[in-house]
Every structure is written in structure tokens, then in C-alpha cells.
Chain A
Amino acid sequence: MESRKPRKINSKWWLIAANLLGLLPLGVLVWAFWVNQLGFNPVETALQRTGQIAVIFLLLSLAFTPLRRLFKWPILLKFRKIFGLYASLYAFTHFATFAIWDYGLNLPLIWMEIQEKPFILLGFAALIILLVLAATSFRYWQKKLGKGWRSLHRLVYLAAVLVLVHYFLAVKGDIFSLQGDYGAPLVAGIILILLFLLRFPFIYRPLQRLINRKGA
């Protein structure tokens, strides 16, 4: 980054790369299933992995708005949408693994679990939000919903919070004393908080200035 000239980015290749990145974990997962490499408890592995990948893509997607404030590359907005779509895809795969593979589509049992267990309920609520956002992420809806689109898509923050609470509730231990299996959800939580903070002008402005000065 030696100059602030508008950068020529060959966006086509970037978009292809982003999509490959999005599909890669699914490919790895399907391949691992195929060659019997999902370990001794494949359902659990698939559940955990799809969940973790969904969290990673959701955090990635949330990272692009603050990043765009700092670096004004237009392509970043496209990444935001692509990674958001993949977050929805993996959240759905996560749910499908739970409902189909784990519970064999035993609907009464699934319904009982969803109703009774806040942790599943929260994940389910987040999934619904992500699917609605995925469905309305295309230009048609963006135009049709006008200003409402932005407000609607702000729900992604709610989804992220729900997802993380869901993650915290899924592991063994005690949340309040932070004793237990909390390593991974803690890291995800800290990243989410940092990304939130980056949206406040008093935090991103100084950073913006710093980057612009360096670039000049």
C-alpha cells in the first residue's frame, strides 16, 4: 500500500477466490465423511465443525464493514455479502446435521428439544434470522425494501449475539465463573466485541487517521 490511488482490483478473481474459500470447508467435510475421517463420533464432529465454520464466516462477514471504513476498497462490501451467505449456509448445514443426521427427522423429539432447551432455541432463532437475511441479500430485495433493508440487515448483530450465547451454552462448564470448556467460544466472543467496538467513531476515527497518514 504505497499510494492512495484508486486500486485496480480484478474483482472477478477475488470473488471466485472468496467463493472457493466459502466452499472449501464443506468440501473438506464431505470428503472426510466419504473416507470415514470424521472420527469416532462423526455426528458430533460434523455438528461442531459446521457450527464453528458458521461462526467463523459470520465473524468474517461482520469484519468487512469496519474494514471498509479503514480501507476503502469497494470489493469489501461484496465479501461481506458472500461470507454472510456462507455463514447462513453453514448454519443451515449445522441445523440439518442436528435434525436429519442426529435426530433422524424425529420431529416430535426435535420440537421438544427446540422448545425445552434455550441453547437450541437461541441457535434456531439465529438460524431463522440468517436465512431471512440470506434470502433478502440480493439487489431485488435491497431495492424493494429501500431503507428498511438496512434496518433489517442490522439484525445480523442480534444473530451474532444469539449464536455466541448458543455456543457458550453448548459447552460443559459454568459461564459465570468461566470454568469449563470455554476456550473457543471466548475467542469468538472477544473478536465479536472488538468488531462491535470498531464501529464506534471514537475508535475507528483515530485508526482511520493513522492508516491514511501511513498511506500518504
Chain B
Amino acid sequence: MVHKKSHSIPVDPSEITPKHIYQTRRQFLKQMGVVGLSALLASCAPNVGVPIDGPGSALDEDLADNLTSYEAITGYCNFYEFTTNKEQVDENAQDFVTSPWSVMVDGMVETPRAFTMEEILSTYTQEERIYRMRCVEGWSMVIPWVGFPLHQLLEEVVPTAGAKYVLFEAALVPDQMEGANSGLFPFPYLEGLRLDEAMHDLTILATGLYDEPMPPQNGAPIRLVVPWKYGFKSIKSIVRIALVPDQPPTLWNTIAPQEYGFYANVNPNVDHPRWSQATERRIGETGRRETLFMNGYAEEVMPLYEGMDLTENF
């Protein structure tokens, strides 16, 4: 694991956060009804006051200043192979063996092969990415991931012309995973992205968080993070990545296709059929905040969906 920064030293958010994220906190202040304070706060944030155009950039917060605590990120998560109890995953996952580990990358690529974790960590520069995480259940976090863009790995194996989608498969080790034999879920957990989504620079393979190696409950040793999609797309503990010609089956989409679309983009305007997605509960805060279109990453990712009906392709 490459540890880039120590957390004892305050880090300038502009060093570690994609530019758009920290640019304005105006919206946030407006929501909080403390616009008058913005001048005062401006002095602490490097780029406050830089106005941004477009709906996708109505970003409301300086993410680096609003990180969800390490305890919450590691103590509250969904990993159904271990248990469906979000606060129990932590304990049940502790004996999960994540070393040695390798990820098979195959399918429609020129050089299919397995990558060991050691190789992945030494080949690809691990950088910090602070992203919002929005769960389809209606809660959210801000997580300082450590990882690298997925496209770097995909470029290495060279997708062939017919490759249109990327399939991800999670580890399934029933003797280490209490919930794996539950007949209620068709494990192994599978996820998928369109190739252009997978190649997008915001899409990363994460190997750690808060400058620590990835804890087992959060998807050790390597997981996907796609910040503009609901959390269930960000598959954990990946053992295989395959380039495929057609849209692959994915776990939640297989269970309930009318409720969990293949795209699963965070979209406050498209409700889950049974509950609203307009607002969310940020872990560590009281009250609700409005859910951002594309989880706040619209400016970067909307070109991917040009001409698509996002209500139809939810």
C-alpha cells in the first residue's frame, strides 16, 4: 500500500480532491441559512466564491472538511455475504482472508491475466479520492478512498473491439462468510458497468480508505468505487473483471429489475418504486439533505448519458 499522506498534517483539499468538488460551498450555506457567514468562512477554504455554471455543479460543500468518521465508515456498511446487519458486518468480516489475493482480468481483452495485489499496489500510483457515497437505502457518507482509476488497469489488458461492458465478480468464500449460504441472495455478487463508464476517470479501484489498507468489511483488498451511482454498484472484494459484449447480469438487477436498474445513477428525480430518493440522511448529521443529481458529479459524467432517457434507463 502506498501511503501518500499522513493525516496528522492538514492537507490542502485542492491537492487531493478533484477540482469541482471543493469549488463552492455557497449552496450548502444557503441551505443552512447562514449566507451571512460565508465571508467569514471563505478565509478557510481556498476556492470559495468561484462560481460554477450548470446544474451539476451546484456543489454544496467542501468534502475534505466533511469527511464521515473512520468509525462510521468501517462500522456501518452493507456486505450481505457476511450479514445483512450493517453494524455487524465489521465483526463478521474480521477473519476474512484477503492475502494472498489476485484479480483475474479476462474476457474480450488482448492480454488476459491475473494481477496479484502486490503487483497492483506497486504498478499503479495510489491516490486519495474524496467522494460522496450515496446508498440506495437513503443514507450517505463522504469517504476518503485510496485507489487508482480503473481505466489504467483496463488499458493494460487492452479491450478488444467487441468489448462493450465490464463485468465484476466479488469473492464468495462460504466458510468465511456467514451470510453467503442464505438462499435469499443469488451470490456471487456481480456488478457491471458500460465500458465508457468503467473508463471514466472518476471510476476507481479502491485499495484503502483514510490512508489505511481497506478493512475487510469495506471490501478488502480491492473494490470498485463509482461515486455517481448508488453504493450497491461499487462491488467489494473483487476477484474477477471481465470485458464482455453484452450487458452483464448484476445481483440487485437480477433480484428486482423493476427496482434496481443496471445504471443505478444517483437521481433524486427517479424514485425507487417504494421510497423516495429526493433526500438522504448523511451519517453523522441530523436531519436530511437533498440528494444531488448524479450525486454531485453531473458535470463530469453527463456526457456519458447524452441523448439517453434517464428515467427509462434508471
Contacts and interface: CB of A to CB of B under 8 A. Distances in A.
B139 interface: yes
A117 B71 CA distance: 33
B255 interface: yes
A180 interface: yes
Nearest to A179: B255
B185 A41 contact: no
Contact of A104 (B87, B271, B278, B287): B287
Interface in A162-198: 169-170, 172-174, 177-183
A172 B287 CA distance: 23
A40 B75 CA distance: 8
Contact of B255 (A102, A170, A174): A174
A118 interface: yes
Interface in A141-172: 169-170, 172
Interface string B35-76: 000000000000000000000000000000000000110011
B137 interface: yes
- Chain B CB within 10 A, most for which of A41, A112, A169: A41
Contact of A172 (B137, B278, B281, B284): B137
A102 B281 contact: yes
A134 B256 CA distance: 38
Contact of A119 (B71, B275, B284): B275
Given A174-B259, A179-B255, A39 B76 contact: yes
A107 to B, nearest CB: 14
Contacts of A181: 84, 184
Q: Mostly helix, strand, loop or mixed at chain B's interface?
A: loop
B255 A173 contact: yes
Interface residues of A, number: 29
Given A102-B288, A104-B288, A183-B84, A40 B137 contact: no
B120 to A, nearest CB: 30
B274 A180 contact: no
Contacts of A169: 274
Contacts of A180: 184-185, 255-256
A2 interface: no
Contact of A41 (B278, B283, B287): B283
B78 to A, nearest CB: 9
B184 A179 contact: yes
A24 interface: no
Contacts of A120: 275
Contacts of A73: none
B276 A112 contact: yes
Given A39-B87, A172-B137, A113 B76 contact: no
Contacts of B87: 39-40
Interface of A: 39-41, 43-44, 102-104, 106, 109, 112-113, 116-120, 169-170, 172-174, 177-183
Interface of B: 71-72, 75-76, 84, 86-87, 136-137, 139, 184-186, 252, 255-256, 259, 271, 274-276, 278-279, 281, 283-284, 286-288
